[in-house]
Amino acid sequence: MEECVFCKIAAGTIPCRKVHEDDRVLAFEDIQPMAPVHIIIIPRRHIATLMDVDAEGMVDLQAMISAAREVARLKKVDRKGFRVVINCNEEGGQVVFHLHMHLLGGRKLRDSLA
């Protein structure tokens, strides 16, 4: 997807501050963090939304969860706690239409998500 900013980041044409990468996923620091630790985790393959995940996408989701666990350890929020969020479609808060997960931590997070 040539217009997708996350595809460009995954391809290396837009720089990012990488935290973790492997053949399936890339994790990088959010440029507008909402918490002391705010990492974006994306599949390298373009999947627009959670609703577009197919069988192969399930493998990508599993890789994203594994990456989230590794990133939580690297950022030292694994013991105190962190939040992972996947927004889906416009009313769900999705802004970039490339499946992605937010990992937030480093402080006590609000109880309410709304």
Question: Catalytic amino acids?
Answer: 100
Q: Which residues of 17-43 are buried (b: 16+ CB within 10 A; e: fewer)?
A: eebbeeebbbbbebeeeebebbbbbbb
Compute CA distances 32 → 22, 36, 58, 85, whole Å.
24, 11, 28, 16
